[in-house]
Amino acid sequence: MARGKRRSASAKRSKRGGSRSRSSSARQQDAITLLKADHRQVEEWFAQFEKTNSSSRKQDLAQKICTALKAHTEIEEEIFYPAFLEATEEQDIHHEAEVEHDGAKKLIAQIERSGPDDEYFDARVTVLSEMIKHHVKEEEKRDGMFAKARQADMDLVALGEQLATRKAQVMGGEDSRMSRGRSIAEARGRESRMANSGRH
Ligand SMILES: [Fe+2]
Ligand SMILES: [Fe+2]
C-alpha cells in the first residue's frame, strides 16, 4: 500500500513537471491502454477455450489465462488502484473492484490446482470468464474506473511505465514457476495414466 502511494505521488509530480520528452512518451502505452490490451488478450483466450475440444489445448489456454490474470490483478492492485483511489477518492468503485479480484483469484487457484480431467474444470473456466467479463465491463464502462481515471489528475503515461515494468517482473517470475509447474503436472499425468492402466 505504502509503495503504491509513493508511486502514484511521483506519477503526479512528473505530470506537473512536464519533463518527459515527446519521443519517450510516444513509445509508451498509457496505463489504461496497457490494462485494456490485457483485457482483450484474456477475452481472446477465453473464446478459444470455449471453442476447443482438445484437453491439452484447454490446459494450455487455462494456464495462459490464469498467469495473465494473476499478473494483471497484481499490477492493478499494487499500482493502478491505489493511484486511482488517491486521485479520485472513489472508494466504492475501488473497493468493489478489489472484492471482484478476490473472487476471481479464488477461482484461478482452483483452476490451477485442477486440470481438464477434473469434471469441474470447464465449469470453473466458464464461471471465471463470466466474472472477468463483468469486472472488465465495470472498469471500462462510461463512468467506470478507467473513464474516471482519465478525468482525474493522474499521470497515466508514468503509471503505464510503472505497470509495464512491474508486469515484466511478475511475468518473468511466473515463467520459471510455470515451467516447474508443467514438469510436475506432466509427472502427475504419467503417474495417473500408469495407475489407471493397472486398475482392472
Ligand atoms: Fe483490469
Ligand atoms: Fe481489475
Model pLDDT for residues 175-193, shown as the tens digit of each residue: 666 666 555 555 555 555 4
Contact 10, 142 (CB under 8 A): no
Which alpha helices (H) appear in the chain, and where do they start and end? 2-17, 22-27, 31-51, 55-75, 81-88, 91-113, 121-140, 145-151, 156-197
Of the ligands numbered here, which is closest to the C-alpha atom of 78?
2
CB within 5 A of ion ligand 2: which residues?
76
> How far apart are the CA of 157 and the centre of ligand 2, in A?
18
Of the ligands numbered here, which is closest to the C-alpha atom of 101?
2
Residue 27 grid coordinates: 513509445
Of the ligands numbered here, which is closest to the C-alpha atom of 35?
1
Query: Phi/psi class of residue 89: alpha, beta or left (left: φ > 0; alpha: ψ in -120 to 50)?
Result: left
> How far apart are the CA of 2 and the centre of ligand 1, in A?
21
Domain map of the chain by residue range?
2-8+27-180
Distances (CA, A) of 134 to 101, 129, 137: 11, 9, 5
> How far apart are the CA of 140 and the centre of ligand 2, in A?
10
CB within 5 A of ion ligand 1: which residues?
35, 139
> How far apart are the CA of 174 and the centre of ligand 2, in A?
19
Model pLDDT for residues 48-97, shown as the tens digit of each residue: 999 999 999 999 999 999 999 999 999 999 999 999 999 999 999 999 99
> How far apart are the CA of 197 and the centre of ligand 1, in A?
44
Model pLDDT for residues 119-149, shown as the tens digit of each residue: 999 999 999 999 999 999 999 999 999 999 9
> How far apart are the CA of 67 and the centre of ligand 2, in A?
14
